[in-house]
Amino acid sequence: MRWRLAFGTVRAHLGSYLASAAVIAAGTALLTAFASLLETGLATGRDSGFLIMLPAILGGWTVAIVAFGVVSTVSLTIQHREQELALLRTIAATPRQIRQNVLLETVITALPAVAAGLLPGVGLGAVVLGRLTGGGLVDSGVELQAGWLCVAIGAGTSLLAAVAAALISSRRAASVPPVRALSTAPPARPLTRGRVLAGLSVLALGLSLSAGTLLMEDGPLLSSTAGPAGVAVAVGLALLSPAAMLPARWLSEARFGATARLAARNVQARARHSGSVAAPLILLVGIAGGTLYMQTTEDSLPHAAGDASVPLAPVNYLVVAMIIAFTAIVVVNTVIAATRRRRREFGLLRLSAVTRAQVLAMVAAEGVLTAVLAIVLGTVAAAATTVPYSLVKTGSPLASGPWWVYVAIAGGALLLVMAAAIPTAVGALRLRPVEALTKA
């Protein structure tokens, strides 16, 4: 009976669960790629330094990035079902039954997504191995190994992250009083005590790693602390991002026009959901800015003949592109899910004589405001990587590299938000206002 109910719920909310499945599959593919390289290095035994060092350094960040991306996406899907879960409680469903159903729904979604991500992950691992072989960093006779370790790391991490998100979010949803959860008002506390403590702890860890980078000698292991520092700061700021939406109230009083004021008030009032959209953007900007400028700084230095840094650069760029692509998928899915959830709100605005164009302008203004706040926080996270790395490498706190890289990162983040939010809002506005009021 429970499995039948869980399958029926997944079918009823197929769009939301497909978004979660896409992130889980992409995360599994990314982790599997690093795991296959690690397994190949362990199996080879000789001349496998880069096959172990690369996944050990970059793979560690990737586990944190994928886990955060999966947890945030699955949690957002469950958050959007709080009213439905509250309705189940009004018909005598117990909190335990709700938690069990949400867990089953998540497992039903995650298992095929994990399976779908394994084969592409092995393919990505083969591409990276080919780059290492082409650069002379790995012997040409080495063949990619994809056994139980590869599957355990790739599939296990994604599945555990999804289950953890389901357990945490379902417990919170099941504890909300039905009357309050069924109301249309946003939650009074966008940040829970646990989230604040987690955010501050991860932020402190990132700042400690950043400071520790300054004490290290220049060498290949310098990125092993500089990179995770930026990732940890980005995750910490992402966890605290709902609080970063609160300053939007200042803009709500500014004379920027009625649409801009309404957008600012929405961002402030919906700080919890605005923070959910901002979180993956912070991660995207922080990781892209930190890793790319870390590599451009390395590229700007003179290298002796035979230095492994030269042939390793294309591999690093490829790996960074893979990580950025995963984060971009999380951003797009999050924005689409958050915008689709607002169909009822859009219907109410339409019934209040607000035109389609005004609703779209409001959505665009909210997207710009959220993206700008996220870009600022992401830049802080990137600085946690680039400043100490550059100080050790060049003696300057400013990373070496073209200015347009940062412009491309910031512009790309804003473009992702607009490209996901506007078409989704256009689709939601095709519904008649009265019909939109019946949509969950």
In contact, 122 and 150? CB cutoff 8 Å: yes
Structure-token match 């310098």, residue found = 222
Buried b / exposed e along 366-398 (16+ C-beta atoms within 10 A): bbbbbbebbbebbbbbbbbbbbbbbebbeeeee
In the chain, the amino acid numbered 19 is: A
Residue by residue, pLDDT tens for the chain (440 residues) are 577 767 777 776 777 788 888 999 999 999 999 999 888 888 886 556 778 888 877 777 788 888 888 888 888 777 777 777 777 777 767 778 778 888 888 888 989 999 999 999 999 999 998 888 888 888 877 888 888 888 898 889 899 988 888 888 777 766 766 665 555 444 545 677 888 898 999 999 999 999 999 988 887 778 888 999 999 999 999 888 887 776 665 665 655 666 666 677 767 666 666 677 888 999 999 999 999 999 999 888 887 766 777 888 888 899 889 999 999 999 998 888 888 888 888 888 888 877 888 889 888 988 888 898 899 999 999 999 999 999 999 999 999 999 999 999 999 999 999 999 999 999 888 877 777 666 65
Q: How far apart (Å, rounded) are the C-alpha atoms in residues 293 and 383?
A: 10
The two structure tokens encoding residue 376: 């600022």
Q: What are the residue boundaries of the structural domains of the chain, listed by start?
A: 1-183, 187-440
Structure-token match 């604040």, residue found = 196
In the chain, the amino acid numbered 387 is: V
DSSP-derived secondary structure letter, 80: T
The two structure tokens encoding residue 128: 């990276």
